[in-house]
Amino acid sequence: MSRNLMKNKQFIGKGLIGELYKRKLLYAMMSVGIIWTLIFAYIPMAGLVVAFKKFNYTDGIFKSPWTGFDNFKFLFANKDLINITYNTVYINLLFILFSTAVSVILALLFVEIKSKVFKRVSQSIVILPYFISWAVVSMFLQGLIGDRGLINQLFAGLGMEKIMFYKEDTYWRAILVMLRIWQGAGFGTIIYIATITGFDTEIYEAARIDGANRFQLISKLTIPMLKTTIVMLTLMSIGGIFRGDFGMIYALIGDNSLLYRKTDVIDTYVYRALRQNSNLGFSTAVSFYQSTVGFVIVLASNWLTRKLDPDSALF
C-alpha cells in the first residue's frame, strides 16, 4: 500500500497538478463552493472599482469612465456621513453592551434554577424570539408602540400623554436596544450557560466547604471565571461594529425619514442611495468606505484577541 502510494507520488509529482490529480474527488467536491464564492463574494469585491467611476448602466462596471476620487470627495463633504457612521457604531456598541449584560445575567440565573421543568420551559421561551424575523417584529411593534398600541394604552391609563413614537426619534435607539434584547439575549445565554456548566465542580465544592454562600459562589467564582468568555465574545462582536444590521433596522424603520437622525446606519443609507439610482458610484464609495474601515476594525479586534488569548483568536 504505502509503496504504491510512493510510486504514484513520484510519477505524478508533488506540485499543484499532482495534488489535484491525486485527490481529484475531494477537490472536485470543493470546487462548487469555491466557484460560488468566487462569483458571489469576489466579483462584488472587484466591483468596488465602481467607487472610482462615473457609473452608467450601459457601460456597466468595467467600461464606465474613471473619475478618480470624485465620489469620495463628494462623500467626505457630505454631512450625512458623520451621522450614519456615528449611528452605526453607536447603535452596535449599545447592542453589544446590553445584549451581553442581559445574556450573562440570565445565564447566571438559569444555572441556579432547581426545577427541571421550569428550566426547560423558560429556556425555550427566551430562545423563541430568535426564530422570528424582523418583518414580523415590525408588524407587532405597531401593536406595542403605535397610536393604539399597548404602551400608549398604558400611558392613557396612567393619565399620561400619548407618545407618537413613529414621529419622534428620541426613543428609537432605546427601542432598538429593547428589541435586540428581546430577539437575541435569550439565544445568547446558550454559550454562557454551557461555559458555566463546564467549570470545574471541585472548586465550587471547596469554596462551599470553606463556608461560601451561593451569592459568593457566583460573585467570587462564576463571574471571574466567565470573564474570559465575555471578553472574547465581546471582542468578536466589536469586529463587526462597522456593519449596521440592515435586516433589523430597515424592517423596523423603513423609509420613515422622521427617524433617520437617530437610526439611519451606513447600510440603510447605501440601500436608499441605490434605490434612488442617482449615482451608483457614490453609493459604492460609501460601501468602499464601510468595507475598508470595517476590515481594519476586524483586524484590530482580532489582533487584540490574540494578545489576550491566542486560542480565541479567529485567525
Partner 1 sequence: MTMRDINQVKKIKKKKGADAIVLDTIVVLVISAFCLFCLIPFVMLVATSFETEINILREGYKLWPSQFTTKAYQMVFDAGQIGKAYGVTIFITIMGTLISMLVTIMLAYPLSINKIKYKTQVTFFIYFTMLFNGGLVPTYLLISKYLDMRNNIWVMIIPVLLNPWNMFMMKNFFRSIPEELSEAAYIDGAHDLQILRKVILPVSVPGLATIGLFYALGYWNQWYNAMLYIDHSSLYPLQYYIMNLTRSIDAIKEMARMTGQAIGSLPSNSIRMATTVVTIGPIIFIYPFVQKYFTSGIMVGSIKG
Site for partner 1 (CB under 8 A): how many residues?
99
Q: Which is nearer to partner 1, 93 or 113 (CB)?
A: 113
228 is a contact residue toward partner 1 (CB under 8 A): no
Q: Which of 75, 235, 238, 298 binds partner 1 (CB under 8 A)?
A: 298
User: Pattern 65-104, binding to partner 1, x per CB under 8 A?
Assistant: ----------------------------------------
Q: Which of 72, 110, 165, 260 binds partner 1 (CB under 8 A)?
A: 110
Q: Which is nearer to partner 1, 15 or 79 (CB)?
A: 15
Q: Which of 246, 304, 306, 309 binds partner 1 (CB under 8 A)?
A: 246
Alpha-carbon span 262 to 278, nearest angstrom? 24
Q: Which amino acid is at 155?
A: F
The number of CA neighbours under 13 Å toward the Cβ of 35 is 6
Compute the least distance from the CB of residue 247 to partner 1, in Å.
Answer: 6
Q: Which is nearer to partner 1, 85 or 284 (CB)?
A: 284
171 is a contact residue toward partner 1 (CB under 8 A): no
Compute the least distance from the CB of residue 119 to partner 1, in Å.
Answer: 9
Q: Which is nearer to partner 1, 98 or 204 (CB)?
A: 204
Q: Which of 81, 163, 190, 293 binds partner 1 (CB under 8 A)?
A: 190
Alpha helices in 210-245, H assignment, sequence order:
214-216, 223-238
164 closest CA partner among 151, 177, 180: 151
- Read off the C-alpha cell for 310: 491566542
User: Pattern 123-152, binding to partner 1, x per CB under 8 A?
Assistant: -xxxxxx-xxx-xxxxxx-xxx-x-xxx-x
DSSP 53-117: B---TTTHHHHSPB-TTHHHHHHHT-THHHHHHHHHHHHHHHHHHHHHHHHHHHHHHHTT---HH
User: Residue holding cell 452608467?
Assistant: 56
Is the CB of residue 140 less than 8 Å from the CB of residue 133?
A: no
Is the CB of residue 111 less than 8 Å from the CB of residue 128?
A: no
245 is a contact residue toward partner 1 (CB under 8 A): no
Is the CB of residue 262 less than 8 Å from the CB of residue 173?
A: yes
280 is a contact residue toward partner 1 (CB under 8 A): yes
Compute the least distance from the CB of residue 90 to partner 1, in Å.
Answer: 21
User: Pattern 14-33, binding to partner 1, x per CB under 8 A?
Assistant: --x--x---x-xxx-xx-xx
Alpha-carbon span 260 to 90, nearest angstrom? 14
- Torsions phi, psi of 159, nearest 5? 75, 20
Alpha-carbon span 310 to 192, nearest angstrom? 20
274 is a contact residue toward partner 1 (CB under 8 A): yes
Q: Which is nearer to partner 1, 153 or 170 (CB)?
A: 153
* 255: Cβ contacts below 8 Å, ≥ 6 apart: 272
**Contact window for partner 1 (CB under 8 A) among 73-81, 90-98, 120-128, 169-177:** 120-128
122 is a contact residue toward partner 1 (CB under 8 A): yes
Compute the least distance from the CB of residue 58 to partner 1, in Å.
Answer: 10
Q: Which of 197, 219, 257, 278 binds partner 1 (CB under 8 A)?
A: 197
112 is a contact residue toward partner 1 (CB under 8 A): yes
Is the CB of residue 204 less than 8 Å from the CB of residue 225?
A: no
Is 195 strand, coil or helix?
A: helix
